[in-house]
Every structure is written in C-alpha cells, then in structure tokens.
Chain A
Amino acid sequence: METLNSLLYGFTIALHPANLFYCFMGALMGTLVGVLPGLGPVATIALLLPVTFHLSPVSGMIMLAGICYGAMYGGSTTSIMLNIPGEAASVITCLDGYMMAKKGRAGPALGISAFGSFIAGTFSIIGLVFLAPPLARFALKFGPPEYFSMMIMGMTVVTYLARTSMIKALMMAAFGVMVGIIGMDPVAAKPRFTFGIKEFYDGISLPPVIMGLFGIAEVLENVGVMIKKEVYSGKITGLYPNKEDWKKSAKPIVRGTLLGFFMGIVPGIGNIIPTFLSYVLEKKVSKNPERFGTGVIEGVASPEACNNAAVGGTFIPLMSLGIPANAMTAILLGALMIYGLQPGPLLIKNSPDLFWGVIASMYIGNIMLLVLNLPLIPLWVQVLKIPYSYLFSFILLFVCIGAYSLNNNVMDIFVAIGFGILGYFLKKFGYEAAPFVLAFVLGPLLETSLRRSLILSDGSFMIFLNRPLSAFFLCIVVFVMILPFVTKKRFGKGLEIEE
C-alpha cells in the first residue's frame, strides 16, 4: 500500500507539465543522438548530460532517464536500418534486424523492437518499484567494508566481462581509480596529482572525461574515414506487428525480459552479456535454429526486450545502493552527485520525489517512445542519411559547449580534449573505456570506504573477511578472477563489434 502511495506521488511529479516536457525532450534527444552511427547509448548520454545540468535535480534526472531510454531505442534503429551497432548490446539486433530490413520487413522489426522494449521496460520498472526500496533498507546495514567489497566486486565483474583482454580491463580499472581520486586529499587537505592546476583541486569532473572518451575519441577515430552506410532505402510499412509476429515474439519477449532484468541487477553484469545470452537461448529453444541470422523476428524481439529489461535492472543497485552496474549507470551516478544528491540507500528516503518521480517518468517515457517514436521513424531515417562530414563537427561543438557550460571554465574543454586523445589511443591499443569510467566514478567512494574500514579495524584488513557480507563479495571477486584459468574461456571475450 505504501509503495502504491509512493508511486502515485511519483506520478504527480512526473505528470507535471514541465517534467512531462523534459521527459519528452530527453526521449527525443536521446533517440536523435542515439540513431547517429558511432554514438552508442553511453556516448549519447555523455554528450547530452550537460543539457540536464541547468534543470532542477528531479527534472534533470527525469530528462536523463528519458535520454537513456531514447538512446537505447535510437541504437536499435541504427542496428536495424544501417547494420551499424552503437554498442556491443546492439550487435545482436543487427544479426536478424538488418536481415529483416533487407527482406522488406524493416517496419515489423522496428515495431517489435519498440513493443518488446516497452513491455520489458514496463516489467523492469515494476521490478524497480518493488525491489529497490527493500534493497535500500537492507543496504542500511552495510558499512564501509561492505561498500568497499561490493565496489571491488562490481569492478571485477565488469573486467571479467570485458570484450578484449581482462588484464587490460583491470589495468583500466586501476587507472580509473587513480584518476578519480585526483584532487585534494579529504583528510590531509593536500593536493594530489593536481600538477598545480587549481581547477583540479576538487577533482576532475566526470562530464568532460566521458565526453572526451566517448565523443572526441569517436570523432578522432572516424574523421577522414568513410563510414560505409547502407541505409535501408525502401518504404517502411507495417510498423505494427501482425498476429503471426506477436505469436512468434511473445515467448521470446518474456524470456528476454526475465533474463535481462535479473542479470542486470547484479553489479558489473550490465546489459551486454544478458543480450547475447538471450539470443543464444532463443536459438537453443527454437525448432528451427538454422533460421537465426536470416531475419527472424524472434532474433530481434528477445534481445531488444532483454536489453531494455537489463537497463531497468541496472537502475536497482544504482538507486538503492548507490553502486553503478556499468558505464551508463556510472554516468548516472556521477550526474546524481553533480546535482548535489548523495546516492546510496538513503537516497530513496531523503529524496523520495527524485526516486518516485524518476520511476514514474521512466514509465511515461516508455509510453512516449512507443507512441511518438514509431511515427517518427521516417525522420530518424533522414537523420541517418546526414553525412558524417557534417555530423562530426556538431558532435565536437556539443562536446565543447557541454564541457564549458558545466562550470563556465575553459579548462573543462581542455580536459575533454585530453581524454579524447587518451580515449583514441586506448581504443587503438585495445583498452576498454567502460572499466575506466566505472572505476573513475567509484574511485572517491572506494577510497572513503577503504579509509573508514581501516580506521574501524585499526589497520587490520581482516575486517573485510570478518564481516559476512563483505567476505561474500570478496569470494565472488576471487571466483571471478580464477574462473578464466579454470574454464580456459571467459564470457565477453571475443564479443568485438564489427563496425
């Protein structure tokens, strides 16, 4: 009953005309940028994050949640229409989605992607409503050792799921922690690795880092290179799946939703692995597995539902524990801190308007995406045709304005440029940015938890093993670290994107 009252309260906030408008703008902008080839959901959120800074925290988070969902949807459109995935999780949609488009069934592919995402998104939001508050109450029992261990677990799982080298991913995590804690030492008030730059005394801001890593680096990689775009040019008809499509897609959507949601909850898993697993699962249960890859609707319905459900699942540890599950939620965590909020178990209690307002607006955003974006598909197809020779200049402009407008400080532009150069070389040498971003955001929290734990235990590291929950998290860390040696293979490895 209390949950229902809180949810109704959330709807009163989300249905406020201004917040409805921000939700719509977030979904629209997220889709508009998300359809651009080369910019996945994480890059989209990174680029659009500064747009939300000038709003109130609640409105900003509402817009940001809309951007998340819009970006996911935009990425699916690119995968189906262009065969260019915006991120790893969209690779699977390319397999059958683009083949459906080639067969003249782009409409049903886009339609089932939208409907499947809507159903999965609705389920995951319901899950968020019922799971996040009790998890937050449980997490009130967490102390610094539990938080430290859980963050280490999350980072370790993310590195285990790295698409290339796990060792390189661990290196990125270690480097991310170091960059994340640059600034004044919170206890000794001593500048650390600031190189005399006073703007770094409060640490390096997240938005210029992610805009550089994902925005500028992407442009540097693509500039001067012709991106081969085979945009599906036929007329898009039949956006609403017919009875046969629904019959084939219903169970895959259910399976994808459940798989994505429950896997997405686990810190570190994110949405990539569940999406790949959902495709494998559908192939296994199908009576005609050889048809997968030729343009079957099940091959689109399940991964798309799984992807959206996993995103919803990742919001649970973010909102209830203040622990991001992947790079996207790490950025959202950073955004919460920029808005002046304290993520963690007390977020729901201290800022109920934010939590319930965001949940209600996620639901409304899902409806908006379904009702509005499907008719706007011809517009997205036109956007896809904008030559990259123009797009890259707009992306760079957006990065610069976004970085500058954070603090009206030109140094943030130079930070974005610096991380753009770093991001470019990281990509070239096979280092993933996601573990770096996660560790960058968690770095200060990690240091605080570590320090407090060691103060509590008077310097003994046994505190991390003596407390059952902390020991449990660390056992998972050990398990994940030795698993590749035992099984000789690793989830995630080999899942390179063909772009």
Chain B
Amino acid sequence: MKKFDRASSIFWLILSVAICIHSYKLGLGSFHDPGPGFLFFWSGVVLGVLSMVILIPTMKGNKEALKETQENIFENVKWMKIVSVLVSLVIYGLILEWLGFLISTVFFIAFLLGSIESKKWYIIVFVSIVSAFLSYALFELFLQARLPKGIFGI
C-alpha cells in the first residue's frame, strides 16, 4: 500500500496547495471578519499537513521495501468495462434532453447490457424497453418528476 499512499498523498498535497493559493486570492479577511477564502484556506492547510504526514513515511522506506510484495489495489481491475460505464453515463447525460427520457434510456440500458455484459439481443431489447417504461411510470406518472421529452416529444 505504500506506493499507493505515496501517490495519493502527493495528489492531496498538490490539491491543497492549489486550494490555498486560490483561497488566498479570494481573500482571507481577518479573524474578526473572515473573508470568502478563510475556511477554504485553513481546511487546505489541514489537508496539506495531513497529506505530508502520510507522504513522509513513504519516502523514508528504501526502494527494496517498496518493491516487496504489496497489495496491488488495481490488480484484476477491468479498466475497459469501467471506462465503458463512464462513457455511457456521460453520453446518456448528453443525449437525455435531446432525445428524451424514453429513447435515451432504451439506448443506455441496451448499451450497458450489450457491450459490457454481452447479453443476447432479445434480452437486451426486452430489458431495456421494460426498464425505460417502468422507470418512466415510477418517476413521471407516479412521482410527477417531469422527465425530458426530447425532440420527438415522447
């Protein structure tokens, strides 16, 4: 876990420095009249200090210690599936108001079941259509949520 702690603590350290700089520009004000950046700045300082508390011990270890068997937290991670899920979510968000809820949802579920889980085509069609209509019924009809209709008005 050491090298992953090192990576994450470096990330948080950089982030905290950026936050402190930006909040300084926002204005810290004074103690009797805290400015917009006051709490950001001090929270950033806490974050930065704590990230160094994690970072420093990882720097002390020698290279051999880091190379020793460590739990690889990303072992067996199926990155393609994760990226596919994220891409499909982003595309769903982009087409939702354009194509409307029903059509977008059918495509969304179909893509997830087809490309990520490789289900048979008739299952994909059935499940995606049923899911779209059931969720429409729950949110639009029952809960009056006003889902987007899109360019086709459905």
Contact = CB atoms under 8 A, between A and B. Distances in A.
Interface of A: 51, 54, 165, 167-168, 170-171, 174-175, 177-178, 181, 185, 187-188, 190, 192-193, 216, 219-220, 223-225, 389-390, 392-394, 396-398, 400-401, 404-405, 408, 410, 413-414, 417, 420-421, 424, 428-431, 443, 446-447, 450-451, 454-455, 457-461
Contact of A446 (B39, B44, B46): B39
A268 to B, nearest CB: 18
Nearest to B96: A410
Question: Does more than half of chain B's interface fall in helix, strand or loop, or is it mixed?
Answer: helix
B111 to A, nearest CB: 9
Contacts of A401: 101, 135, 139, 145, 147
10 nearest A-B residue pairs (beta carbon): A459-B32, A224-B78, A459-B31, A185-B36, A224-B81, A413-B93, A405-B145, A393-B112, A389-B117, A429-B8
15 contacts: A178-B44, A181-B40, A185-B36, A188-B27, A219-B85, A223-B78, A389-B117, A392-B85, A393-B108, A401-B101, A404-B147, A405-B139, A410-B94, A450-B34, A459-B31
A192 B4 contact: no
A424 B33 CA distance: 38
A459 B119 contact: no
Contacts of B97: 410
Contacts of B44: 174, 178
A392 B31 contact: no
Interface string B117-142: 10100000001000100010011000
B50 A397 contact: no
Interface residues of B, number: 65
A184 to B, nearest CB: 9
B93 A400 contact: yes
Contacts of B30: 459
B36 to A, nearest CB: 4
Question: Interface of chain A, helix or strand or loop or mixed?
Answer: helix
A390 B86 contact: no
Contacts of A193: 19, 22, 40
Interface string B86-123: 10011011101100010001001100110011010000
Contacts of A458: 32
Interface in B140-154: 143-148
Interface of B: 1, 4-5, 7-8, 12, 19, 22-23, 26-27, 30-40, 43-44, 46-47, 50-51, 53-54, 73-74, 76, 78, 81-82, 85-86, 89-90, 92-94, 96-97, 101, 105, 108-109, 112-113, 116-117, 119, 127, 131, 135, 138-139, 143-148
Given A175-B47, A178-B19, A459-B30, A390 B113 contact: yes
A51 B143 contact: yes
A447 to B, nearest CB: 5
Nearest to A192: B36
Given A192-B36, A401-B145, A429-B4, A461 B93 contact: no
Given A405-B145, A450-B34, A458-B32, A225 B78 contact: yes
Contacts of A188: 27, 35-36
Contact of B113 (A393, A400, A428, A455): A393
Nearest to B22: A193
Nearest to A428: B73
A431 B145 contact: no
Contacts of B78: 223-225
Contacts of A431: 8
Given A178-B44, A224-B81, A393-B112, A414 B35 contact: no
Nearest to A411: B93
A414 B74 contact: no
B103 to A, nearest CB: 14
Nearest to A404: B96
Contacts of B94: 410
